[in-house]
Structure 1
Amino acid sequence: MAITELPLNGNNKPPGHHLNVPDEEVSTTCVISQKQGGWTTFPFVTVTLMGLTIAASGWNTNLTVYLIERFNIKNIEAAQISNVVNGSSSFFPIVGAIIADSFLGNFFVVSASSFISLLGLLLLTLTASLQSLRPQLCNKALLETCETPSQFQFAILFSAMTLVALGMGGTRFTIAAMGADQFDKAKDQGTFFNWYFFTLYLALVIGITAIVYVEDNVGWGLGFGLCLGINAVGLAVFLLGKRYYRHIKPRGSPFTNLARVVVAAIRKKKVLSVSSESKDYYYGDISTENKLAVQGPTSSFRFLNCAALKNEAHDEPPTESWRLCTVQQVEDFKSLISIFPLWATGIFVSTPIGIQNALMVLQALSMDCHLGPHVNIPAGTFLVFTLLSTAISLSVMDRYLFPIWQKLARRPLRPLQRIGIGHVLNIVGMALSALVETRRLHKVRSHNLTHQPNSIVPMSAFWLVPPLAIIGVGEAFHFPGQVALYYQEFPVSLRSTATAMISVVIASGYYLSTALVDLIQRVIGWLPNNINEGIIDKVFWLLVVIGCTNFAYYITCAMFYKYKNVPNPGQKFETVNGSSS
């Protein structure tokens, strides 16, 4: 399943469901007229996406450089702060998705998040424009003259970063779900996502190149001001399209049902034996015909089955409560437990990427970033090579690799296989980063630049491109593979939230990378603030070891995992009474 084919409709209904909803149900689900939804909304959604993405990538990509140059924050500390901001902005999408699906709806979450990011960018622009909101510029020749920011300046800076991270996180996945909600047909949803990802990557490239160039070569105030203006345009266009959108009303939190399973299982923990008879379990309000087709609860995590067991007097007549759940609710909870080990392996894929991104900016700052005699590439812009590599790889895989695999293997490339390939490429990319850093350190020592923290090493920064490109190809495999796996295997009631689970993986990776860098800096001493005195190549080799260990754990989990919704050939559906389908 390609990432561009994931139907992220927030209401978790199959394509065409809006046309089949009875009149009495329409009022509780969505408000539809002939003028709402469809391709009329496409320009509003894509322009909003482009504006918000350009604004977000414009400030976020160059944050480490801004903290070093304008707030006199030490190199490693600046990279750590940037990682925390990236982690937070990657964690908030899951919160936004839950709030949108369960309580407030997509339109409100996107609007509010866009406004919050606007306020954050206003504060960030003020820190770059008003001297009173930042310390005096540091004389790099005399490090002792560097002035540290005051508590007030830090408060304004961190308030700005918090607001923009909240705003960016609240729109990242929610706007995708809202865009998909405007279409009934799977073909239209697929076309929308093709354009969605094209727009997303185009906006990222513009932000990382054009906006970052303005910040580094014209002025930080102008650069952040452009982000502020573009964010405002995106929000205005989004609000202008309100009358044309199809507004899906939230249907309550699906997590309540999962919580019921835990509570009911705990309350019935004294049940000595769990019945193997299907008739002893509660299936909810379904017809007799459908009830006959429903299998009893599976034998995995058998202790949870008592949550759906009708063996107590006060369970009659059976009703959903915090003491009795349906079999489907129990099975949904089991599916989350079974997929959690695989989900955890994604964190240790994102962790090396977070460390590499942070260290890459510091490496580029110490290297020759010229492209030809006149063009100087900003250090933060080098991340664009990962994006380009991912975008190109996705296109090649969808058009050539996957069809060829389908013909040769006579079955599609499964999500677990795609994720595994991504693991391997991630390890290769880290090993290549270690070799590049070894060469850079050799140049540092041969030119006696070890104790000169702000010197430029006579080595082109374009040596960083090959490992970044390999990491990009790896991302094209494992991130879409993870999204496909979660969407496919999560309970139907959680599928909209499932598509945002990848953001939690990324956020956890950034947080863990921050903790790991801090541990390495404090305990081992491989990462001093002057990276020319450090041994970053050993850090990358450590990441290779972590990656190999994580890959071995992933292979073990994948071998024992059984697809729930795409069963393996010959796989049987096992139930507590031993029957199979």
Structure 2
Amino acid sequence: MAVSATSSNLIVYLVHNYNVSTVDAAQISNVVRGCMQLAPVLGAAVSDAYFGCYPVVVAGLAFSLLSFVLFTLTATLPSLLPPPCHRAGGGSTTATSCEPSNAIQSTVLYAALCLLAVGNGGTRYNMAALGADQFVGEGRRRQGAFFSCYFAFLYASYAAGDTVLVYVQDGVSWALGFGVCVATTGLGLAALLLGSRHYRRPVPRGSPFTALARVAVATARKSTVDLGSRAQYYHGCNRDAETATQPRPDQAPSDRFRFLNRAAMVAAGETREEDGSIAKPWRLCTVKQVEDLKSLLRVLPLWSSGILVSVTVNAQVSLTVLQALTMDRALGRRFAVPAASITVTVLLAFVLSAALFDRLAAATPLWDGKLVVTPLRRVGLGHALNVASMAVAALVERRRIGAARGRAAAGTVVVPMSALWLVPQLALTGAEEALHLPGNTELFYGEFPATLRSTATAMPPLFIAAGSYLSTALVDAVRRATRWLPDDLNESRLDSVYWTLTVLAAVNFGYFLVCATTYKYNNGGDDGNAKAQTETDVS
């Protein structure tokens, strides 16, 4: 809740308290969002390879707590904030003079943001893994129930953070809002520590990326070896933990990415005579390790299509907050919705759309014994909604700019356009995310080898992080090449930015369709002929 509220309200905090221009604040917010998506992937890798979940989660909560302490200090101590902007003149000659933050103020702010990303990296996925570890040996149903409960609380906390806590920060007091963040994070850390002696803590299994790196290095070192028909391939020996069954000695690797097969070709001196184990691990790999890397490479084109979806979504969400700042956010006479809280529509639409889609998918009968709704089709529907969301955003922004310029030309005081006009585009984005993210996670989890299942669940956050950084670069390129994004949003051509995002989303949708129609599932069949799961598997 604390992390969600702070990251969502960061643009407003930078604009109002640090005198940062609106577009620059959106750029900083995109970078921070990218770091907060990338850090959990690194945290999960460190946890699996070295420390285990529990100590990484504890460290993550401690870093988060320190981050919110720094945020509270920035909101409490005047010396850590630049002076408020000064308005001089009157009427049409009004000028605003803003003093930027000094070195110390900027250092404290960026230290708090870095600690926020590091803390989120330690908790985001490791918390879920730590909880699932407590149900090992108790059946998939218990673990499934835990994950359902975990994600229900996760999205509920996002919604609470983006509404209640954002309102406290923006409408009551920034110091009080960050103080609540300190209290909730402190309580979370205390609750975790109180149960320490009861937790199951599996021993770290080592990084799965080491085996992939060995395949790449072995392939490079054998780049001149001839892939002849009489090549002998290494499948492992009896003492290899990964070799559960003995394959036929003449069984060759698949022809996909055939050049990687060199890594499994046995040369003189690469195995031990006494037991047949690998003597030179960076020159020889098993066929299974080679096929694992091939599975990863096969899915990368589909994964890359998610990057541009993330680019458009991140740019839209950041720019929507800026739009909301210029619009009428009043609900009744006494309450105004904080600008950052308008994005809670995405979370609510995500939850509702995911539940509706799952119900529809469960009610859809099998067609000739096969699943009709496959992961690729679910992702494809998400791409289509992404295009629609950007187009709706462009149309709404055209209307907003027209209304704002009409008021300026008339010279009269007129209530701005209602921020509720932003709800449809955000609802479409939430529905798109409800299809795109779970669909990709299901696809990667099912297609990756068992040794890379943790990596599979981290693949969507990776393209979200990449999209956050690229959306920052995209907006910066638009600012440099055009005059569409001045500091005064009412003088902008933000609708043209949204139309550009619409075109990019449409082109990316076409790229995804090409990748999807040529993709073959590992479990047999193509998108329309994937093997049907049993009733037990579906449940």
Query: Do they superpose with TM above 0.5?
Result: yes
Partner residue, 2:506 = 548
| 2:192 equivalent to 1:234 | no
**Residues 130 and 566 of structure 1: is their aligned pair in 2 closer, same or farther, counting only changes over 3 Å?**
farther
The residue type paired with residue 26 of structure 2 is A
Cα pair 2:233 2:250 within 8 Å, conserved: no
What TM-score, normalized to structure 1? 0.85
Distance 1:386 1:294, change over 3 A: farther
For 2:79 and 2:229, locate their aligned partners in 1 and report how far apart those are by CA, in whole Å.
Answer: 72
1:488 is aligned to: 446
In the alignment, the residues of structure 2 paired with residue 102 and residue 137 of structure 1 have an alpha-carbon distance, to the nearest angstrom, of: 48
**Which residue is equivalent to 1:248?**
202
Whether the aligned pair in 2 keeps the contact of 1:67 and 1:78 (CA below 8 Å) is: yes
Cα separation, 2, equivalents of 1:451 and 1:487: 58
1:194 CA drift (Å) = 1.2
Counterparts of 2:371 and 2:110 in 1: how far apart (Å)? 50
Aligned to 2:40: 93
| Cα distance change, pair 314–499 in 1 and its aligned pair in 2 (3 A) | closer
Aligned with residue 131 of structure 2, among 150, 155, 179: 179
Determine if contact 2:233/2:249 at 8 Å carries over to the other structure: no
Q: Is the contact between residue 407 and residue 414 of structure 2 (CA under 8 Å) also seen in structure 1?
A: no
> 1:570: Cα distance to partner?
7.3
Give the unaligned 5+ runs of structure 1. Answer: 1-53, 573-581
Letter in 1 for 2:121: G
The offset of 1:311, in angstroms, is: 3.4
Q: How does 1:451-470 map to 2 (within 5 A)?
A: 458-470=416-428
| Structure 2 CA distance for aligned equivalents of residues 449 and 377 of structure 1 | 27
* Cα distance change of structure 1 residues 309 and 448 upon mapping to structure 2, 3 Å threshold: same
Query: Is the 1:342–1:554 Cα contact (8 Å) retained in structure 2?
Result: yes
Given the superposition, is the C-alpha separation of residues 468 and 295 from structure 1 closer, same or farther in structure 2, using an over 3 Å criterion?
A: farther
Deviations 1:491-516 (A, max 9, x none): 21111122122111111111000000
The Cα shift of 1:295 comes to: 4.4
Give matches, 1:22-33, under 5 Å. none
Structure 2 CA distance for partners of 1:80 and 1:435, relative to 1, 3 Å? same
Q: In structure 2, what is the equivalent of residue 502 of structure 1?
A: 460
Cα root mean square deviation, aligned: 2.2
Check the 8 A contact 1:135/1:147 in 2, yes or no: yes
Instruction: Return the structure number with greater relative CO, CA threshold 8 A, min gap 6.
Output: 1
Give 1:314-325 correspondences, 5 Å limit: 314-315=270-271, 317=273, 318-320=276-278, 321-325=281-285
Instruction: Return the alpha-carbon distance in structure 2 between the equivalents of residues 443 and 151 of structure 1.
Output: 40
Distance 1:457 1:267 in 2: 70
Which amino acid in 2 is paired with 1:145?
S
Runs of 5+ in structure 2 lacking a partner?
89-93, 532-539
Q: Deviations over 1:241-297 (max 9, x none)?
A: 1112110110111111111111111111111233366xx111112479632399420
The match for 2:399 is: 439
2:119 to 160, 164, 167: 167
Give the deviation of 1:490 after TM superposition. Answer: 1.5
CA drift at 1:367 = 0.2
1:297 partnered with 2:244: no
Aligned-partner Cα distance in 1 for 2:179–2:383: 39
Aligned partner of 1:415 in structure 2 is 375
Deviation digits for residues 434-480 of structure 1 (CA, Å, limit 9, x no counterpart) = 0000000110111117999xx98621000000110011001000000
- For 2:41 and 2:426, the matched residues in 1 are separated by 27
Residues 1:140 and 1:218: Cα distance change in structure 2 (over 3 Å)? farther
C-alpha contact (below 8 Å) 1:135/1:150 kept by paired residues? yes
Task: Show the counterpart of 1:208.
Answer: 162
Preserved CA contact (<8 Å) 1:366 1:457 = no
Corresponding position of 2:389: 429
What amino acid does structure 2 have at the position aligned with 1:234? G
Amino acid of the structure 1 residue aligned with 2:174: W
CA contact (8 A) 2:44 2:125 kept: yes
Distance 1:565 1:273 in 2: 27
Contact 1:368 1:460 in 2 (8 A): yes
Q: What SS class does the counterpart of residue 561 from structure 1 fall into? A: coil
Cα offset for 1:396?
1.4
Once the two structures are superposed, what CA deviation does each residue of 1:138-191 show, in whole Å capped at 9, x if it has no partner? 235665431110011101100111101111122111111111111131111111
Taking the aligned partners of 1:336 and 1:260, their CA distance within structure 2 comes to 14
| Partner Cα distance (2:330, 2:220) in 1 | 64
Cα–Cα, structure 1 residues 374 and 329, in superposed 2: closer, same or farther, change >3 Å?
same
Are the aligned partners of 1:91 and 1:503 in contact in 2 as well (CA < 8 Å)?
Answer: yes
Q: How many residues align?
A: 514
Find the aligned partners of 2:234 and 2:522 in 1 and give their Cα distance.
21
**From 281, 286, 289, the counterpart of 1:326:** 286
* TM-score, normalising length: structure 2: 0.91
CA contact (8 A) 2:346 2:426 kept: yes
Contact 1:489 1:564 in 2 (8 A): yes
Counterpart residue number, 1:537:
495
Q: 1:270 to 1:507 in 2, by over 3 A?
A: same
Matches within 5 A, 1:367-406: 367-398=327-358, 400-406=359-365
The answer for the alignment partner of 1:224 in structure 2 is 178
Q: Is the 8 A contact 1:422 1:475 kept in 2?
A: yes
Question: Match for 1:180: what amino acid?
Answer: A
C-alpha separation between the residues in 2 aligned to 1:119 and 1:556?
Answer: 47
| Superposition pairs of residues 135-174 of structure 1, within 5 angstroms | 135-139=82-86, 143-174=95-126
Task: Report the secondary structure of 1:69's partner residue.
Answer: helix
Deviations for 1:378-435, whole angstroms, at most 9, x for unmatched residues? 000011111000001111122x211233446741521111110000001100100000
User: Are 1:195 and 2:149 matched, yes or no?
Assistant: yes
Partner of 2:434: 476
